Amino acid sequence: SQTIHQWPATLVQPVGSPLSLECTVEGTSNPNLYWYRQAAGRGLQLLFYSVGIGQISSEVPQNLSASRPQDRQFILSSKKLLLSDSGFYLCAWRDRGRNSPLHFGNGTRLTVT
């Protein structure tokens, strides 16, 4: 069966520090991968998605970047965190095919102080 791992679960970082959140998927190949951010009361915002190794699409201009160094690994990064980067970050995957559902990780709660 397929599983998705996302870590860390919680993170407190000072303003200006770097960020690296990692997500890996097991039990499938060639998945589409996604990073979402959930800010309080604002729903889910798509940040990045990837349809293959090295292929990253950015949905909004951010202080963030994403990389996909391996087929089932998706990394969210920042060189210098801002206070506004605080939120709940969710990684997700889906099989190729428009009707396949997203499968989410348990999320990372990031607090920038």
Partner 1 sequence: GDSVTQMEGPVTLSEEAFLTINCTYTATGYPSLFWYVQYPGEGLQLLLKATKADDKGSNKGFEATYRKETTSFHLEKGSVQVSDSAVYFCALDNDYKLSFGAGTTVTVRA
Q: Kindly list the residues in this chain that would bind partner 1 in the complex (CB under 8 A).
A: 6, 32, 34, 36, 41-44, 46, 49, 51, 57, 59, 90, 92, 98-99, 101-107
Q: How far is the CB of 100 from partner 1 (least distance, A)?
A: 9
Q: What burial letters (b/e) apply to 20-55, b meaning 16+ CB within 10 Å? A: ebebbbeebeebbbbbbbeeeeeeeeebbbbeeeee
Q: How far is the CB of 43 from partner 1 (least distance, A)?
A: 4
Shorter beta-carbon distance to partner 1: residue 61 or 98: 98
